[in-house]
Amino acid sequence: MATKKIVPPAVGAATVEAPAGQASEATRPAMKKITIHHVSRIEGHARITIKLDGAGKVADTQFHVTQIRGFEKFTEGRPYYEMPSITSRICGICPISHELASSKACDAIMAVRIPDTAAKLRELVHMAQFVQSHALSFFHLSAPDLLLGFDFDPAKRNIAGLLEEHPDALRDGIALRKFGQTVIERLARERIHPSWAVPGGVNEPLDPQAREKTLAEWPTAMAIVKRTLELWKKTVDSYPNEIDSFSNFPTMYCGLVGPDGSLRLYDGNLRFVDSDGSMIADQVKPDDYAAYIGEATLSDSYLKAPYYKPVGFDGGIYRVGPLARLNVADRCGTPEADAELAEYRARFGTGAAHRIVQSGFHYHYARLIEATYAMERMHQLLDDPAILGAKVRAHAGVNNLEGVGIIEAPRGTLIHNYKVNDDGAMTWANLIVATGHNNLAMGRGIRQVAERFVDGNHIQEGALNRVSAIVRAYDPCLSCSTHALGTVPLVLELHGPDGALLDEIRTE
């Protein structure tokens, strides 16, 4: 079996293989298969397979998530009030998201309305998490592609290369993430896996000094967000081909909105809009999510594929996350983010009202607008006198046998649904995580990018990097979505018609 390594380890190992006995040019196989083992700069483990036809054109693509964890199963029997801390261990990037969604599901089991101050504090820590997570996605994971270029020397297309070429941008990214993490630490005592959010509220009121310090640091962090947004607004036009082909297809979109249709990240009801912006379902209560969202199991991935139930599997493809949230919401609700949203829609929106931005490439742009919103919302919350209230926790036992908690995690809609027995022991759990919702769209996006950039006769590393980059645009957290273990590798495979491995990219 002829194996040719064509990509340096910075991106991963890709191999193109011809079936045994058919290695010569004259007897070229009718079909080939490329595998990107370990998609790099994402959270979790994944593999991409690209099948090529005899002419070297893309015949099929598959996105395999190769990790499994099983939180839904092994939490059976645990007391429900331990769930926020157990499920926050699903992820080290956004433990806060799981902790909050889980706490909300527990609030529902206790049938309590948490104190106003507690709700505001939870939203505040959530905003800090949005800032740090969006900074991580944009700067640490995607900036090497976006600022250095998809075809940049793969050995340097990483954070070290960024340090050489764009030291100021990298410094901004690190400072912004640090700001978000520091705010989390001030509120919740720990940056990663804090146990501050609890069923019924939070377990400690806000220290007035933490409020003062955060307000003092806020202008510097806000300046970084603005600077980055300006930089990206100038840069985005240099990627017409990527905009055109990175998941640029019509889907439905899903996200939380407030009663007035504005963007909501911590609390709200679900809204689904169609590819043209028309309303499909609005103000869906979290408890009713299962009537709208179904989950299909795929044979070639550990990641389930949620779909919009009224339409059915496969056809009911919808997206979540920054792009979807800005498509779903009527407005952000904070002045600077609303101004940015208007400009973003004017530039890239489709349809009569320029309401819907369709290309998955614009997840990056949307992410920066959301970072602006999160910063503004953080300031609003800190300015609210109620934020320093002392009543932050409601106590209660089991008053409902089932509870649903939904929030918008940085990567999209996060659903925790628990059932308990009369004694409060977990009997069943269902977690639908942002990356899961996007599974079908990522799969289709990979196909679109591969068709556009991958030529089986002349496989370019830059082309395969774009295939990985479409996955990165969604900023998937595969560890979360399969509730699985792992760091960041992804695998891309190219297979021949007989299934022989022709090429693969592997990031260790």
Residue 394 in 3-state DSSP?
coil
Residues contacting another protein: total by CB under 8 A: 20
Instruction: Examine residue 6 and tell whether it contacts another protein (CB under 8 A).
Output: no
- The CB-of-477 to another protein minimum distance in angstroms stands at 19
Is the Cβ of residue 89 or residue 156 nearer to another protein in the bound state? Answer: 89
Instruction: Examine residue 400 and tell whether it contacts another protein (CB under 8 A).
Output: no
Distance CA 66, CA 300 (A): 9
Distance CA 14, CA 285 (A): 45
Give the range of 32-40, 234-242, 420-428, 474-482 binding another protein by CB under 8 A: 420-428
Name the β-bridge partners of 305: 296
Residue 103 contacts residue 242 (beta carbons within 8 Å): no
Distance CA 87, CA 75 (A): 9
Instruction: Examine residue 89 and tell whether it contacts another protein (CB under 8 A).
Output: yes
Among 85, 248, 334, 479, binds another protein (CB under 8 A): 85
Give the range of 194-202, 369-377, 399-407, 438-446 binding another protein by CB under 8 A: 194-202
Instruction: Examine residue 199 and tell whether it contacts another protein (CB under 8 A).
Output: yes
Residue 129 in 3-state DSSP?
helix
Instruction: Examine residue 70 and tell whether it contacts another protein (CB under 8 A).
Output: no
List the beta strands (DSSP E) in 386-437: 402-409, 412-420, 426-432
Contacts of 433 (CB under 8 A, 6+ apart): 90, 409, 411, 414, 415, 477, 480, 481, 483
Give the range of 196-204, 217-225, 271-279, 443-451 binding another protein by CB under 8 A: 196-204
Per-residue x/- track, 203-232, another protein (CB under 8 A): x-----------------------------
**Burial annotation 304-325 (CB, 10 A radius, 16+ → b, else e):** bbbbbeeeeeeebbbbbbbbbb
Q: How far is CA 158 from CA 92, 154, 229, in A?
A: 21, 8, 21
Instruction: Examine residue 397 and tell whether it contacts another protein (CB under 8 A).
Output: yes
Among 86, 112, 159, 223, binds another protein (CB under 8 A): 86
Instruction: Examine residue 63 and tell whether it contacts another protein (CB under 8 A).
Output: no
Among 63, 81, 365, 373, binds another protein (CB under 8 A): 81
Is the Cβ of residue 11 or residue 109 nearer to another protein in the bound state? Answer: 109
- The CB-of-213 to another protein minimum distance in angstroms stands at 24
Which one-letter DSSP state was computed for residue 113? P
Is the Cβ of residue 78 or residue 226 nearer to another protein in the bound state? Answer: 78
Is the torsion defined by CA of 311, 316, 322, 326 positive or negative?
negative
Among 92, 151, 159, 195, binds another protein (CB under 8 A): 195
Among 59, 93, 198, 284, binds another protein (CB under 8 A): 198
Among 24, 385, 423, 458, binds another protein (CB under 8 A): 423
Distance CA 176, CA 168 (A): 12
Q: How far is CA 4 from CA 7, 13, 34, 135, 243, in A?
A: 9, 10, 11, 36, 31
Among 24, 25, 77, 385, binds another protein (CB under 8 A): 77
Is the Cβ of residue 12 or residue 199 nearer to another protein in the bound state? Answer: 199
> What is the CB-side half-sphere exposure of residue 77 using CA atoms within 13 A?
2
Residue 416 contacts residue 429 (beta carbons within 8 Å): yes
How far from each other are the two terminal CA atoms of the chain, in whole angstroms? 23
- The CB-of-424 to another protein minimum distance in angstroms stands at 6
- Total residue length of the chain: 508
- The CB-of-83 to another protein minimum distance in angstroms stands at 9
Give the range of 114-122, 175-183, 418-426, 476-484 binding another protein by CB under 8 A: 418-426
- The CB-of-94 to another protein minimum distance in angstroms stands at 17
Contacts of 216 (CB under 8 A, 6+ apart): none
Residue 248 contacts residue 446 (beta carbons within 8 Å): no
Instruction: Examine residue 291 and tell whether it contacts another protein (CB under 8 A).
Output: no
- The CB-of-374 to another protein minimum distance in angstroms stands at 26
Among 258, 261, 424, 462, binds another protein (CB under 8 A): 424
Among 21, 70, 79, 499, binds another protein (CB under 8 A): 79
Instruction: Examine residue 425 and tell whether it contacts another protein (CB under 8 A).
Output: yes
Q: What values do phi and psi take at 339, rounded to 5?
A: -65, -40
Among 84, 144, 333, 410, binds another protein (CB under 8 A): 84
- The CB-of-421 to another protein minimum distance in angstroms stands at 8
Distance CA 85, CA 99 (A): 6
- The CB-of-125 to another protein minimum distance in angstroms stands at 15
**Burial annotation 432-461 (CB, 10 A radius, 16+ → b, else e):** bbbbbbbbbbbbbbbbbbbebbbebeebeb
Distance CA 97, CA 14 (A): 34
Is the Cβ of residue 91 or residue 449 nearer to another protein in the bound state? Answer: 91
Instruction: Examine residue 193 and tell whether it contacts another protein (CB under 8 A).
Output: yes
List of residues contacting another protein (CB under 8 A): 77-79, 81-82, 84-86, 89, 193, 195, 198-199, 203, 395, 397, 421, 423-425
